[in-house]
């Protein structure tokens, strides 16, 4: 009986590959549905959790060389990984920088744009090198 399940593994792996787990990279464009326009001209709709949506609609990153880590959904929308996994990057000056936001007043870093939860001042975009 276990052998029968082993035969299903290649089918499951093929389906995961078909759904496109991985990354996409291109120019982030604004609109009702944010898109990443790849170097070969494909226009891929992008979505994610509420915090990811906040970044995708931030005018400070729109138009940048943008990378999203996640997977392609069956509906053709590339779904970013949850924001706590740092799935959003800007490529600038030959570096891959992850998107963060910083409050100079309170020295608080967040992963999504908006007002600081402490002082209520607007946070600034602060692209950071990943230190793994």
pLDDT digits (tens, 9 = 90+) for 15-27: 444 445 699 999 9
pLDDT higher for 27 or 11?
A: 27
Cβ atoms of 65 and 36 within 8 Å: the answer is no
pLDDT at residue 8 in the model: 44
What are phi and psi for residue 106, nearest 5 degrees? Answer: -105, -5
Domain ranges for the chain: 2-96
CB atoms within 10 A of CB 7: 8
Give percent of the chain with pLDDT exceeding 70. Answer: 83
Give the residue from 86, 42, 40, 34 showing the smallest Cα distance to 64. Answer: 34
Fold of 2-96: OB fold (Dihydrolipoamide Acetyltransferase, E2P) (2.40.50)
* Confidence at 130, pLDDT banded by 50, 70, 90: confident
pLDDT (tens digit, 9 = 90+) per residue, 59-109? 999 999 999 999 999 999 999 999 999 999 999 999 999 999 999 999 999
* pLDDT of res. 103: 97
């Amino acid at each position: 009986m276990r052998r029968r399940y082993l035969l299903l593994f290649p089918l499951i792996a093929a389906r995961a590959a078909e759904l496109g787990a991985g990354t996409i990279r291109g120019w982030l464009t604004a609109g009702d549905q944010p898109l990443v326009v790849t170097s070969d001209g494909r226009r891929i709709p992008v979505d994610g959790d509420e915090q990811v949506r906040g970044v995708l609609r931030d005018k400070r990153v729109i138009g940048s060389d943008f990378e999203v880590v996640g997977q392609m959904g069956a509906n053709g929308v590339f779904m970013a990984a949850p924001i706590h996994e740092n799935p959003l990057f800007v490529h600038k000056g030959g570096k891959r920088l992850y998107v963060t936001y910083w409050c100079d007043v309170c020295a608080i870093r967040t992963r999504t744009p908006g007002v600081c939860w402490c002082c209520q001042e607007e946070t600034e975009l602060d692209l950071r090198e990943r230190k793994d």
